């Protein structure tokens, strides 16, 4: 594995290898064991969209691994003025040991990886959010002790997070039911991957997706870059909310996952969010541990 571009690229074994190392690093770091496996190494982080978790967890993670992270925005780099990705990629390959990027087009991340001789990590595109889903799988395993056979009900937009979640869940032998309004289904490539898998259900009924779920997952109705569609989406997504009625259909021990940031009163009620705040913030914490494992494996 040279890069982490999308969950669709990973095998079950590769996913489990990352999760196992992340568990070990989390346990050891809480017991005072340092992992300075990237001493003297540098990560370039390029952001074309806002970020709290991804930016801070990568920067802190790199520091804890003994390395250094550079925070760069598209607009500050020449890439924002049209310098080709293939040139940016070859230049950065001469200075740093890895690139993490958050952008719009998946093709940009794929192209960075193609032209670089260093690992490239997708920190979110419109197509996938692989680092998020590795942290989510880690969290689900912490709460339910296993992944195999665990049922996820995803309610909301068939977006980047949803695409990665479907790929990750099915690769790990989980069941996943996705409820989206008509016209907001997951990406065609994700649906092609899931097609024919008896563990995958796509529906327009949030109730059907929530039924007997061990994990209820939701994300914002309008992702970054879709702000001008927000009004139209508010109407389309009415009813696609994780609330008490939906929770009552799930397994009594169901946990809630949300990649954050959350919009209370839209995709999730404030009551459900606060009642399930522990697994949601464990999920946010696990971004750090999962990404340290990813960086150690790719850049170590
Ligand atoms: N979940 C997530 O990626 O959060 P940020 O947008 O804050 O990085
Ligand atoms: N789907 C959201 C996830 C944010 C972490 C977005 O792309 O804005």
Structural domain harbouring 72: 7-129+287-299
Task: State whether 262 and 125 are in the same domain.
Answer: no
Answer yes or no: is the C-beta of 49 below 6 A from any ligand 1 atom: no
Nearest to 248 by CA among 224, 212, 202: 212
Q: Rounded mean pLDDT of 100-116?
A: 98
> Which tokens sit at 234?
């508010």
CB atoms within 10 A of CB 78: 12
pTM across the whole model: 0.98
Residues 6+ apart with CB under 8 A from 201: 176, 177, 178, 208, 209
Whether 102 is a known active-site residue: answer: yes
Q: DSSP secondary structure string, 75-123?
A: TTSGGGGT--HHHHHHHHHHH-SEEEEE-S-HHHHHHHHHH-SS-EEES
**220 in a structural domain:** yes
pLDDT for 208-256, tens place per residue?
Answer: 999 999 999 999 999 999 999 999 999 999 999 999 999 999 999 999 9
Q: Is residue 292 part of a domain?
A: yes
Which residue is associated with the tokens 């971004």? 287
Q: Among candidates 281, 251, 263, 285, which has minimal Cα distance to 218?
A: 263
Q: Are residues 274 and 293 in the same domain?
A: no
Same domain, 121 and 135: no
Shared-domain flag, residues 213 and 98: no
161 Cβ closer than 6 Å to some ligand 2 atom? yes
- Whether residues 117 and 63 share a domain: the answer is yes
Phi and psi at 197, nearest 5°, equal: -80, 120
**What pLDDT sits at residue 21?**
98
Q: Return the structure tokens found at 250.
A: 């799930």
Tell me, yes or no, whether 1 lies in a domain: no
Q: Is residue 69 part of a domain?
A: yes
* pLDDT digit string, tens, across residues 23-50: 999 999 999 999 999 999 999 999 999 9
User: Per the structure block, which two tokens stand in for 101?
Assistant: 């990027």
Same domain, 140 and 230: yes
Domain CATH code at residue 159: 3.40.50.1370
Residue-level pLDDT at 104: 98
CA of 21 to the centre of ligand 1 (A): 22
Q: Are residues 112 and 144 in the same domain?
A: no
Verify that 84 and 140 share a domain, yes or no: no
pLDDT for res 172: 98
Give the strand order in the sheet containing 68-73: 68-73, 42-47, 98-102, 120-122
- Based on the structure, what is the number of domains in the chain? 2
Both 150 and 115 in one domain: the answer is no
Q: Is 83 part of a structural domain of the chain?
A: yes
Q: What is the pLDDT of residue 291?
A: 98
Residue 78 CA to residue 245 CA, distance in Å, equals: 50
CA distance 81 to 158: 32
Task: Indicate whether 97 and 195 sit together in one domain.
Answer: no
- Name 216's bridge partners: 153, 256
Ligand closest to the CA atom of residue 223: 2
Q: Which two tokens stand for residue 292?
A: 């340290």
Note whether residue 148 is domain-resident.
yes
Average pLDDT over residues 5-28: 98
Same-domain pairing of 234 and 276? yes
Q: What is the pLDDT of residues 163-199, one digit of tens each?
A: 999 999 999 999 999 999 999 999 999 999 999 999 9
Identify the nearest ligand to the CA of 123 by its number: 1
Same domain, 157 and 192: yes
Task: Note the pLDDT of residue 89.
Answer: 98
Cβ neighbours of 212 (radius 10 Å): 12
Per-residue pLDDT of 39-88, as tens digits, reads: 999 999 999 999 999 999 999 999 999 999 999 999 999 999 999 999 99
Is 194 a domain residue? yes
Q: Judge whether 104 lies within some domain.
A: yes
Q: What is the pLDDT of residue 244?
A: 98
Give the pLDDT band of residue 200 (cuts 50, 70, 90). very high
List, edge to edge, every strand of the sheet that includes 200-203.
Answer: 200-203, 175-179, 151-155, 215-218, 255-258
Q: Is the dihedral of CA 136, 139, 145, 151 positive or negative?
A: negative
Ligand 1, pocket-test mutation among 54, 164, 280, 291, most atoms within 8 A of CB: 54
45 lines ligand 2 (CB under 6 A): no
CA of 52 from ligand 1 middle (Å) equals 5
**Reported confidence tier of residue 125, pLDDT bands at 50, 70, 90:** very high
**What are the tokens at 35?**
């992992």
């Amino acid at each position: 594995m040279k890069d982490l571009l999308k969950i669709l690229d990973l095998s079950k074994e590769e996913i489990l290898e990352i999760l196992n190392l992340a568990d070990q690093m989390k346990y050891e770091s809480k017991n005072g064991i340092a992992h300075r496996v990237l001493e003297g190494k540098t990560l370039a982080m390029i952001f074309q969209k806002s970020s709290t978790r991804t930016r801070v967890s990568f920067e802190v993670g790199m520091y804890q691994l003994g390395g250094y992270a550079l925070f760069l925005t598209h607009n500050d780099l020449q890439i924002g003025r049209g310098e080709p990705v293939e040139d940016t990629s070859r230049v950065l390959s001469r200075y740093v040991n890895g690139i993490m990027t958050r952008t719009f087009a998946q093709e940009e991340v794929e192209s960075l990886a193609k032209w670089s001789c260093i690992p490239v990590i997708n920190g979110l595109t419109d197509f996938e959010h692989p680092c998020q889903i590795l942290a989510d799988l880690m969290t689900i395993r912490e709460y339910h002790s296993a992944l195999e056979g665990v049922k996820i009900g995803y309610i909301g937009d068939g977006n980047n997070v949803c695409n990665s979640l479907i790929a990750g869940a099915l690769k790990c032998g989980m069941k996943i039911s996705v409820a989206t309004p008509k016209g907001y289904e997951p990406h065609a490539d994700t649906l092609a991957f899931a097609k024919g898998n008896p563990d995958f259900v796509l529906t327009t009924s949030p109730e059907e997706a929530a039924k007997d779920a061990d994990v209820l997952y939701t994300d914002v109705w309008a992702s970054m870059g879709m702000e001008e569609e927000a009004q139209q989406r508010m109407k389309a997504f009415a009813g696609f909310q994780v609330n008490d009625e939906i929770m009552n259909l799930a397994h009594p021990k169901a946990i809630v996952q949300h990649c954050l940031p959350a919009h209370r009163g839209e995709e999730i009620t404030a009551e459900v969010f606060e009642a399930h705040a522990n697994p949601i913030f464990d999920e946010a914490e696990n971004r750090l541990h999962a990404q340290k494992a990813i960086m150690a494996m790719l850049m170590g």
